[in-house]
């Protein structure tokens, strides 16, 4: 596809690198000559210097023939104007990053009036991700499918977990309703079958409906009680969105922010439900003064990655049950995991991932089965793909045991009329079903890629 990216910051550069590697024709637009020079030297992309809201610049970049235009500058208004202009010129699909909370309430109207196909708000998305992580304090990551009805939870298997050294077929018999979809062992990504033996230290991904997932972890002896108190360090947009999303849920929240003006604004916006403290969150004395260890979770959202990392490690050493750390540099993620900080969030990576999922789904959409969602998991080596099966497909209404499903592909979940099905050999796919597949990265674009016409076992 022809893709134009307006904005060559960390998000724009990350998107360009990923999309160019996937053989898309990518053009980057930015006013910063140094940033464009770096992109030109290190990536297989075209670069255009200029203002992305200028029609001449957009035409020079080929926006009139672009399949996708992505506006990820630091200016919300610029991104909206870029998308509006690009659509008027003939761009097929537009994406805008919009971050300011003032736009949140009218986002649907803005999106409709400006003809923007996808709006991504990194801070709000990160706040939602943190909320999911606090639901399962032991979880490394939680993703949702089928409009939130199906969850995929990543967690580390402990030595004394009852499933350690157990085969998956035995686990499925003892704990029905959930499916192990992928495993990370060391740096090896595994899409397991029933013979796979679970080992301590494995990072497992399990899929199921919310009730089944919760019951599974309860039986394992994991703490499934949602965190009821949290200390947030930093009073930026993420803290604001998180506080608003948890309002009325009975969560005890404290936010520490060093700037008095930000503190005043947060107090006005959030009211008495949130305790806003003015002070330096990187100071251990202040954390202890505010009874850090009495909170169920610490969420480090300061501007500097290093401060978040050090404060997070301090909290782990003090025995806090759940610590979430924000970082902007992708190379820190693996380092933090090795240091015991598994729950890491990154607004920039969240934005890039959200847009990449949409573009990949758009690129792979087929007439008989449309990709609704695409998540890369297990260090980006495995994909979880959500499809809608269409009428007339050759694999419909045939038991899975009679279909030749491509090696390395797992039919993980079927959703039919709000019913969640963990499928076995006797189950089948019907038109309209939501089908969640697990596969090696970049190997499946449509259901036909996993189950081809004429591949029925006789």
The number of folded domains in the chain is 4
Matching residue, tokens 């949702």: 144
Last residue of a domain, which of 70, 86, 120? 120
Residue 354 lies in a domain: no
Q: Give pLDDT, residue 337.
A: 72
- The CA distance from 318 to 360, in Å, is 42
Q: Which domain holds residue 239?
A: 229-345
Residue 358 lies in a domain: no
Specify whether 380 is located in the same domain as 339: no
3-state per-residue secondary structure call for the chain? CEEEEECCCHHHHHHHHHHHHCCCEEEEEECCHHHHHHHHHHCCCEEEECCCCCHHHHHHHCHHHCCEEEECCCCHHHHHHHHHHHHHHCCCEEEEECCCHHHHCCHHHHHHHCCCCEEECHHHHHHHHHHHHHHCCCCCEEEEEHHHCEEEEEEECCCCCCCCCCEHHHHHHHCCCCEEEEEEECCEEECCCCCCECCCCCEEEEEEEHHHHHHHHHHHCCCCCCCCEEEEECCCHHHHHHHHHHCCCCCEEEEEECCHHHHHHHHHHHHHHEEEEECCCCCHHHHHHCCHHHCCEEEECCCCHHHHHHHHHHHHHCCCCEEEEECCCCCHHHHHHHCCCCCEECHHHHHHHHHHHHHHHHHHCCCCEEEEEEEEECCCCEEEEEEEECCCCCCECCCHHHECCCCCCEEEEEEECCEEECCCCCCCECCCCEEEEEEECCCCCCHHHHCCCCCECC
Specify whether 248 is located in the same domain as 271: yes
Specify whether 246 is located in the same domain as 316: yes
First to last CA, the chain: 39
Q: Give pLDDT, residue 365.
A: 60
Spatial CA neighbour of 155 closest among 171, 141, 174, 135: 141
Specify whether 212 is located in the same domain as 287: no
Evaluate whether 133 touches 139 at the Cβ level (below 8 Å): yes
- The CA distance from 102 to 46, in Å, is 35
- The CA distance from 68 to 87, in Å, is 10
Residue 195 lies in a domain: yes
Specify whether 257 is located in the same domain as 305: yes
Pull the structure tokens for residue 43.
Answer: 């990536």
Last residue of a domain, which of 200, 220, 240? 220
Residue 32 lies in a domain: yes
Pull the structure tokens for residue 126.
Answer: 């990160």
Cβ-in-10-Å burial (0-12, 13-18, 19+) of 260 comes to: exposed
Residue 355 lies in a domain: no
pTM here is: 0.79
Q: What are phi and psi of 33, to 5 degrees?
A: -65, -35
Evaluate whether 278 touches 263 at the Cβ level (below 8 Å): yes
β-strands 252-257, 274-278 pairing: parallel
Evaluate whether 163 touches 183 at the Cβ level (below 8 Å): no
Instruction: For residue 396, list its beta bridge partners.
Output: 429
Length of the chain: 458
Neighbours of 90 (CB within 10 A): 10
Residue 327 lies in a domain: yes
C-alpha triplet 398, 403, 406: angle, nearest 5°: 145
Specify whether 263 is located in the same domain as 321: yes
Specify whether 175 is located in the same domain as 205: yes
Matching residue, tokens 């400006």: 114
Matching residue, tokens 């890491």: 344
Specify whether 239 is located in the same domain as 310: yes
Q: Give pLDDT, residue 203.
A: 93
Cβ-in-10-Å burial (0-12, 13-18, 19+) of 112 comes to: exposed
The whole-angstrom distance between residue 219's C-alpha and the CA centroid of its chain comes to 27
What is the CATH classification number for the domain harbouring 47? 3.40.50.720
Neighbours of 401 (CB within 10 A): 12
Specify whether 293 is located in the same domain as 378: no
Q: Give pLDDT, residue 381.
A: 85
Last residue of a domain, which of 94, 120, 146? 120
What is the CATH classification number for the domain harbouring 403? 3.30.70.1450
Q: Give pLDDT, residue 370.
A: 56
Residues of the chain with pLDDT under 70: 330, 334, 364-372, 452-458
Matching residue, tokens 């990655």: 305
Evaluate whether 326 touches 311 at the Cβ level (below 8 Å): no
Specify whether 41 is located in the same domain as 106: yes
Render pLDDT for 197-247 as a digit per residue (tens, 0 to 9): 999 999 999 999 989 999 999 999 987 777 889 999 999 999 999 999 888
Residue 323 lies in a domain: yes
Specify whether 41 is located in the same domain as 115: yes
Residue 457 lies in a domain: no
Specify whether 34 is located in the same domain as 66: yes
Q: Give pLDDT, residue 458.
A: 43
């Amino acid at each position: 596809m022809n893709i134009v990216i307006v904005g060559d910051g960390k998000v724009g550069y990350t998107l360009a690198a990923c999309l160019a590697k996937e053989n898309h024709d990518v053009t980057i637009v930015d006013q910063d000559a140094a940033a464009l020079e770096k992109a030109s030297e290190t990536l297989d992309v075209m670069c255009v210097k200029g203002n992305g809201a200028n029609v001449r610049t957009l035409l020079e970049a080929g926006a009139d023939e672009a399949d996708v235009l992505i506006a990820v500058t630091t200016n919300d208004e610029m991104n909206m104007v870029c998308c509006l202009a690009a659509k008027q010129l003939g761009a097929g699909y537009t994406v805008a990053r919009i971050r300011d909370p003032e736009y949140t309430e009218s986002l649907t109207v803005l999106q409709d009036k400006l003809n923007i196909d996808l709006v991504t708000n990194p801070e709000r998305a990160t706040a939602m991700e943190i909320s999911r992580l606090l639901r399962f304090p032991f979880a490394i990551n939680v993703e949702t499918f089928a409009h939130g009805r199906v969850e995929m939870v990543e967690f580390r298997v402990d030595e004394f977990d009852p499933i350690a050294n157990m085969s998956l077929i035995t686990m499925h018999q003892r704990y029905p309703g959930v499916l192990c979809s992928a495993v990370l062992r060391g740096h090896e990504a595994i899409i397991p079958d029933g013979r796979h033996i679970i080992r301590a230290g494995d990072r497992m991904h399990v899929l199921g409906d919310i009730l089944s997932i919760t019951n599974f972890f309860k039986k394992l002896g994991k703490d499934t009680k949602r965190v009821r108190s949290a200390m947030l360090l930093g009073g930026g947009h993420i803290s604001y969105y998180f506080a608003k999303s948890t309002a009325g849920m009975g969560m005890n929240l404290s936010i520490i922010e060093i700037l008095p003006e930000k503190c005043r604004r947060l107090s006005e916006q959030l009211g008495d439900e949130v305790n806003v403290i003015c002070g330096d969150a990187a100071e251990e004395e202040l954390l202890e003064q505010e009874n850090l260890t009495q909170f169920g979770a610490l969420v480090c959202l300061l501007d500097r990655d290093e401060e978040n990392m050090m404060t997070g490690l301090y909290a782990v050493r003090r025995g806090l049950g759940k610590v979430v750390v924000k970082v902007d540099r992708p190379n820190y993620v693996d380092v933090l995991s090795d240091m015991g900080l598994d729950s890491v969030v990154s607004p920039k990576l969240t934005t890039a991932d959200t847009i990449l999922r949409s573009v990949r789904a758009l690129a792979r959409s087929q007439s008989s089965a449309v990709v609704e969602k695409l998540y890369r998991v297990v260090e980006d080596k495995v994909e979880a793909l959500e499809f809608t099966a269409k009428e007339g497909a050759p694999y419909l209404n045939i038991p899975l045991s009679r279909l030749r499903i491509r090696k390395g592909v797992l039919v993980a979940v079927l959703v039919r009329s709000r019913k969640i099905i963990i499928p076995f050999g006797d189950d089948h796919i019907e038109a309209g079903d939501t089908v969640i597949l697990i596969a090696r990265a970049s190997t499946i674009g449509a259901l036909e890629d996993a189950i081809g016409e004429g591949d029925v076992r006789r």
